[in-house]
Amino acid sequence: MIKPIGSDELQPRFVYDSEKHHQLMKEAETLPSVLISSQAAGNAVMMGAGYFNPLKGFMNVTDAMGAAENMTLSDGSFFPVPVMCLLENTDAIGDAKRIALRDPNVEGNPVLAIMDVENIETVTDEQMATMTNKVYGTDDTEHPGVAAFNSQGKIAVSGPIDVLHFSYFQDDFPDTFRTAVEIRNEIAERGWKKVVAFQTRNPMHLAHEELCHMAMDRLGCDGLVIHMLLGKLKKGDIPAPVRDAAIRKMVEVYFPPNSAMVTGYGFDMLYAGPREAVLHAYFRQNMGATHFIVGRDHAGVGDYYGAFDAQTIFDEVPAGALEIEIFKADHTAWSKKLNKVVMMREAPDHTKEDFILLSGTKVREMLGNGEAPPKEFSRPEVAKILIDYYQSL
């Protein structure tokens, strides 16, 4: 199986030993505590689950700037984005060397992790601006990722963490949330050698399904991991339980047995386009995938990124930093000429009118009216689940 990044075995930051876990939970109640941001909570969950291996905790400003500017930390290791715990103030911390980090996304704000405080630093406006522009490619506050990153505060608290909970993900999505450790174990149990991962924050229509089949066939993969984002999305995105049900139905009906896993991970979408695509590849290698599908405008939002920027950025990744291979995909759609789904770049004799293309707005309007999109766009079983959701609003 493909090795994790930076170590021979995964080193998840979650405390699995029950006795130690109990001791730390008791200790946490005696420690100064801070309520962290949703983005920081997602980062803690990803470290706990082994996805950010070998990262041990939240970055100091030097490492965060290195990640933003050249995807390299001060020790020379590779990481594509800053992973920070930013606060508006540290009054509750004082000079404490150990603190409890409380979860903003669960009622009662339970302890999510314990941190050994190594540094407390004020991030300058210039540093925030540099990180924002490097990671998001814009400083436009209308960009949801830019807004979220810059709303957390400017005091960076850094140091290694011990994670004690997986936030709401394990409770709300018990059948779908999986750690990188669990996915690696299941890949091994299934006997898969070549595994391609597919990222989604939306239900999968026919074009997505066929893209996965194409990737598996062309790469000679024996397994597909559909890995959906379970964290916070932007307004208008379909809730995770609905997405989950639609994707599971598609796999059940249209994929052979033991060829596809439906899983999810706990993280807030950054909408950082190219830089987020590299992060997605990073943690897919850690979960055991050998290949990763990167499509047109991967992880983007609005018109901030070029259609294939999320593919060309891999040319900037330092040599040897990633072993996972990228399957570079174009937009897929049903060809009226060929009577099947194709990658649009592979049909050079086609015009736009030769494809069945529906805007997201049009699809939502149809579903809301109880009308299924054409079978060339969406499987009827999937459409029914989405119609039920939209008509319940």
Q: Using an 8 Å Cβ cutoff, are 336 and 344 in contact?
A: no
- Does residue 5 form part of some domain? no
Taking the C-alpha atoms of residue 71 and residue 247, their distance in angstroms, rounded to an integer, is: 33
pLDDT tens digits, one per residue of 156-167: 999 999 999 999
Q: CA 24 → CA 43, 110, 193, distances in Å?
A: 20, 13, 38
Max Cα-Cα span within the chain: 69
Label residue 234 by pLDDT band (50, 70, 90): low
Q: What would the mean pLDDT of 356-366 be, rounded to a whole number? A: 89
Q: Is the pLDDT of residue 355 over 70?
A: yes
Is there a single domain that holds both residue 190 and residue 66? no
Same domain, 248 and 166: no
pLDDT of residue 241: 86
Residue range 120-149, pLDDT digits in tens? 999 999 999 999 999 999 999 999 999 999
Q: Identify the CA nearest to 138 among candidates 272, 334, 331.
A: 272
The whole-number average pLDDT for the span 9-36 is 98
Q: What is the pLDDT of residue 361?
A: 84
DSSP state of 126: H
Co-location of 266 and 244 in the same domain: yes
What does the DSSP 8-state code read for residue 350? -
* Contact in structure between 123 and 86 (CB atoms under 8 Å): yes
In whole angstroms, give the CA distance from residue 366 to residue 355.
Answer: 19
Of 98, 201, 345, 364, the active-site residue reads 201
- For residue 11, being part of any structural domain is answered with no
Of 130, 151, 170, the position where a domain reaches its end is 170
d(CA 80, CA 275): 7
The domain total for the chain is: 2
138 and 256 in a common domain: no
**Same-domain check for residues 126 and 247:** no
Q: What is the CATH number of the domain that holds 99?
A: 3.10.400.10
Tokens 């009906």 belong to residue: 253
Instruction: Provide mean pLDDT across the span 347-359.
Output: 93
Q: Any idea what the CATH number is for the domain that residue 375 is in?
A: 3.40.50.620
**Are residues 223 and 260 both part of a single domain?**
yes
In a domain, 9, yes or no: no
Same domain membership, residue 51 and residue 182: no
Looking at residue 224, what DSSP letter applies?
A: E
Distance CA 76, CA 8 (A): 18
pLDDT in tens, 197-228: 999 988 999 999 999 999 999 999 999 999 99
Structural domain contains residue 344:
yes
Domain-located, residue 52: yes
Dist. CA 290–CA 215, nearest whole Å? 12
Provide the pLDDT for residue 379.
95
Side chain identity at residue 103, one-letter code: D
How many other C-beta atoms are found inside a 10 Å radius of the C-beta of residue 141? 11
pLDDT at residue 240, as a whole number: 82
Kindly write down the DSSP assignment for every residue of 19-59, as one continuous string.
Answer: HHHHHHHHHHTTS-EEEPPHHHHHHHHHHHTTTTTT--EE-
Shared domain for 195 and 137, answered yes or no, is no
pLDDT value at position 359? 86
H helices, E strands: number in the chain: 13, 15
In a domain, 2, yes or no: no
- Per the annotation, the verdict on 345 as an active-site residue is no
Q: For 232-244, give the DSSP string.
A: ---TTPPPHHHHH
- Residue from 119, 202, 345, 364 carrying the catalytic annotation: 202
Asked if 162 and 24 count as a contact pair (C-beta separation under 8 A), the reply is yes
Q: Across all residues in the chain, what is the average pLDDT?
A: 95
Give the residue from 142, 56, 83 showing the smallest Cα distance to 275: 83
Backbone angles phi, psi at 100, to 5 degrees: -100, 135
Say if CB 338 and CB 328 are below 8 A apart.
Answer: no
Domain that holds residue 370: 175-392
Residue 143 domain flag: yes
Please tell me the pTM assigned to this model: 0.94
CA-to-CA distance for 230 and 347, rounded, in angstroms? 34
**Residue 202 annotated as catalytic:** yes
Q: Are residues 166 and 193 in the same domain?
A: no
- The pLDDT tens digits of the residues spanning 51-94 come to 999 999 999 999 999 999 999 999 999 999 999 999 999 999 99
Same domain, 47 and 157: yes
Among 155, 170, 185, which residue terminates a domain?
170
Q: Tell me: do 381 and 290 sit in the same domain.
A: yes
Shared domain for 288 and 347, answered yes or no, is yes
Q: In this structure, is residue 237 part of a structural domain?
A: yes
Q: At what angle do helices 240-254 and 380-392 cross, to 10 degrees?
A: 160
